[in-house]
């Protein structure tokens, strides 16, 4: 069953195709203008605290063979997506790449999946519609929720209500590709704890942390998928739940926090839809490594380069982050979340997180 958002998505796709037709009819060379998708055209918006595209644009034009092929692929993709929406079907990004092999014009075939992925992102940008509303999805991320929340979700078999503690197993409720199809019915959530690793997520659930503290545990599963970031934002914006991000203590994990809080460069066109600027970091700190004498690994050259880069990153230019990053560069060590187990399996839920969250005024 189509929704207003899906009808809008199909209408915008058809509008894009109509623009190509109008250009042909006017005797103009068909073209499509999009923001320049390079790091130099990404800006940190201090008002909204998210990454956004700058003013620079580039034009995909049929005035060259290469440009004409790009627009041909765009036209075929638009036709496929519009038909998919009309038939109330869906597909994965991987399927789109292989599907192009069946298109009758050989020049319309994608050379690799990166090319088809980028084209879908281009269509998101120029249409102002997300790929989820195109019924496009990535391969399953497997990220989950566990906590005191009752939801209603739309499925092909109709609506169903689920409590994300009482009606799910230890694995939790799997986040769907498009979290906007979920309706929040009732909750007792005091805060959201977004957790990087599966092992730590399982430890928290086994120890009953979600029940004891009315916490919604969101498994980020490493660098979080768009669906994971979207539902985290909805939990904050619609339910007023503070979002805390619990990761390993290394520069790559700090960037996981950054993508949740401020958005990522790759999805800068969706930052206001995906990012939660109010999210706070409750992960392993360099000062924890020193204070608790945690088991560690030495920083690699790439770790050092990443930390030095973060010192120049607007997302980390605060007194707190500068102090922590400088300390980490000084001690030359990093530590995983599960290093806390060196003090016992219950240390993280009985002492570490309660102390951190109390200090931050969350519990």
Rounded distance between C-alpha atoms, residue 166 and residue 151, angstroms = 12
CA separation, residue 50 to residues 224, 268, 279, 283 (Å): 16, 8, 12, 21
Rounded distance between C-alpha atoms, residue 164 and residue 347, angstroms = 25
Are 335 and 294 a contacting pair, CB within 8 Å? yes
Are 20 and 75 a contacting pair, CB within 8 Å? yes
Contacts of 5 (CB under 8 A, 6+ apart): 129, 133, 180
Quote the crossing angle between the two packed helices 113-127 and 65-86, to the nearest 10°. 70
Rounded distance between C-alpha atoms, residue 136 and residue 242, angstroms = 30
Any bridge partners for residue 182, and if so which? 153
Are 124 and 270 a contacting pair, CB within 8 Å? yes
Catalytic residue, chosen from 44, 97, 98, 273, is: 98
Identify the helix (H) or strand (E) that includes residue 110: none
Are 34 and 125 a contacting pair, CB within 8 Å? yes
**Helices and strands (DSSP H and E) totals, the chain:** 14, 17
Q: What's the token pair of residue 356?
A: 């951190």
Annotated active-site residue 98? The verdict is yes
Rounded distance between C-alpha atoms, residue 196 and residue 198, angstroms = 7
Residue spans of alpha helices (H) in 143-285: 198-206, 209-212, 226-239, 251-262, 271-274
**In this structure, what DSSP letter does residue 349 have?**
I
Active site residues: 98
């Amino acid at each position: 069953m189509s929704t207003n958002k899906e009808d809008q998505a199909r209408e915008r796709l058809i509008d894009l195709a109509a623009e190509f037709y109008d250009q042909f009819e006017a005797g103009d060379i068909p073209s499509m203008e999009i923001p320049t998708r390079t790091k130099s055209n990404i800006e940190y918006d201090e008002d909204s605290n998210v990454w956004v595209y700058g003013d620079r644009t580039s034009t995909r034009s049929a005035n060259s063979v290469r440009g004409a092929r790009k627009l041909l692929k765009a036209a075929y993709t638009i036709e496929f997506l519009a038909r998919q929406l009309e038939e109330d079907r869906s597909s994965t990004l991987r399927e789109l790449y292989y599907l192009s092999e069946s298109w009758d014009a050989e020049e319309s075939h994608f050379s690799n999946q990166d090319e088809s992925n980028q084209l879908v992102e281009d269509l998101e940008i120029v249409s102002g519609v997300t790929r989820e509303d195109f019924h496009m999805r990535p391969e399953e991320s497997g990220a989950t929720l566990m906590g005191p929340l009752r939801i209603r979700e739309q499925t092909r078999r109709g609506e169903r209500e689920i409590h994300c503690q009482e009606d799910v197993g230890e694995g939790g409720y799997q986040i769907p590709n498009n979290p906007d199809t979920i309706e929040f019915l009732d909750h007792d959530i005091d805060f959201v704890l977004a957790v990087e690793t599966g092992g730590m997520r399982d430890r928290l659930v086994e120890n009953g942390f979600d029940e004891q503290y009315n916490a919604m545990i969101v498994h980020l599963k490493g660098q979080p998928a768009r669906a994971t970031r979207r539902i985290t934002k909805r939990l904050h914006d619609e339910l007023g739940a503070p979002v805390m991000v619990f990761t390993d203590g290394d520069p790559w994990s700090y960037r996981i926090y950054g993508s949740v809080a401020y958005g990522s460069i790759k999805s800068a066109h969706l930052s206001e839809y995906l990012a939660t600027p109010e999210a706070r970091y409750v992960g392993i700190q360099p000062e924890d490594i020193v204070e608790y004498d945690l088991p560690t690994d030495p920083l690699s050259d790439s770790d050092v380069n990443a930390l030095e880069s973060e010192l120049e990153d607007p997302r980390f230019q605060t007194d707190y982050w500068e102090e922590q990053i400088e300390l980490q560069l000084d001690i030359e060590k990093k530590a995983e979340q599960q290093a806390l187990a060196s003090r016992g399996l219950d240390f993280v839920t009985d002492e570490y997180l309660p102390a951190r969250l109390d200090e931050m005024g969350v519990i």
